[in-house]
Amino acid sequence: MTVVTLKIDDRDVSGRDDETILEIARENGIVIPTLCYLEGLSIAGACRLCLVEVKGTSKLLPACATRVSEGMEIHTNSERLTQYRRTIIEMLFAEGNHICSVCVSNGHCQLQDAAVALGVDHIGVPYLHPHRHVDASHELFGIDHNRCILCARCVRVCDEVEGAHTWDVGVRGIEARVVTDFSTPWGDSDTCTSCGKCVQVCPTGALFAKGKSAGEMTKQSEFVEYLVAMRGRRS
């Protein structure tokens, strides 16, 4: 492990060479939007919102998965990146059925927050209006697939922190869904411990506790970071 110095958005910053661009940026108050990333969970690199420009490569690199190195020059906020991020958010809205006004997470939703922060004021791609289901078979929780953005935080927290691996992803492409056990109803699950970690880490209103009405579902995902730190980081 060595200490390196680098530039993010023309600011001189320093970090260890086993840290990622995202970690260093956040330490220094530089905001890079993310949706699939959650401190304490493994890196998915799936939402592509945290892509940044790094001098010396024509490829955009995911800040969550890219380690810093000496002399790196990073730009996190160009017009091109903002445009890509907006379109990605628009794609997420168009892909599902997101109706904020009736959603349990209205006002506490990370997809909604990202859209506001990036100035997404209309959806420029056609809505796909998919037919998706709601699984309310679990005693305490429910999942509304219409609101799922497939960040797979639930899959990771269930496997990596709870150790149950109830959640996984089934099917592929635009048909992909998070599933419990062998794509059987959540309420019938033999593996689910009903710990509710998946609900707490879900960035949208897809996973919710029963009994919540519109706007009432607030979530605390910070426990993951705390639990992982207390158990001793493995990686």
Partner 1 sequence: MIEERPLFIPEQNIVLEHNGDIDPEVLEDYSKIEGFTALNHVLTEMTPPEVIDQVSRSGLRGRGGAGYPTGLKWQTVAKAPGTPKYIICNGDEGDPGAFMDRNVMEAYPFKVLEGMTIAAYAIGASQGFLYVRAEYPLAVQRLKNAIRQMEKHNLLGKNIAGTPFSFDVDVRLGAGAFVCGEETALIASIEGRRGNPRPRPPYPAERGLFGCPTLINNVETFANIAPLLRKGAEWFASIGTEKSKGTKVFALSGRIARAGLIEVPMGTTLREIVFDIGGGIPDGKAFKAVQTGGPSGGCIPSDYLDMPVDYESLLKLGSFMGSGGMIVMDETSCMVDVARYFMEFCMSESCGKCVPCRVGTAQMYQLLTKIVNGDATLNDLALLESLCDLVRNTSLCGLGQGAPNPVLSTLRYFRDEYIAHIVDKRCPAGVCPVHKREHQEVNA
By CB under 8 A, residue 19 contacts partner 1: no
Beta bridge pairs of residue 177:
170
CB of 18 or CB of 222, closer to partner 1 = 18
Q: Which of 99, 102, 117, 128 binds partner 1 (CB under 8 A)?
A: 128
**Any idea which residue has 């990370």 for tokens?**
110
Q: Does 91 bind partner 1 (CB under 8 A)?
A: yes
Q: What does the alpha-carbon distance between residue 147 and residue 6 come to, in Å, rounded to a whole number?
A: 38
Q: Coil, strand, or helix at residue 21?
A: helix
**Alpha carbon distance 117, 109 (integer Å):** 12
What is the Cα gyration radius of the chain?
19
Verify binding: residue 56, partner 1, rule CB under 8 A.
Answer: no
Decide if residue 230 touches partner 1 (CB under 8 A).
no
Pick 141 or 204: Cβ nearer partner 1: 204
**Among 201, 71, 197, 80, residue whose Cα is nearest residue 140:** 197
- When asked if residue 143 is in the footprint of partner 1 (CB under 8 A), the reply is no
- Tell me the window of 1-9, 58-66, 105-113, 199-207 that interacts with partner 1 (CB under 8 A): 58-66
Q: In terms of Cα–Cα distance, which of 57, 52, 58, 55 is closest to 20?
A: 52
First and final CA of the chain: distance in angstroms? 14
Candidate residues 7, 26, 48, 132; the one interacting with partner 1 per rule CB under 8 A: 48
Choosing from 1, 56, 131, 172, the residue that interacts with partner 1 (CB under 8 A) is 172
Which of 10, 173, 220, 230 touches partner 1 (CB under 8 A)? 173
Name the token pair of 210. 């029963």
User: Which residues are near partner 1 by CB under 8 A?
Assistant: 43-48, 51, 59-60, 62, 65-67, 84, 87-88, 91-92, 94-95, 124-126, 128, 149-150, 152, 168-169, 171-176
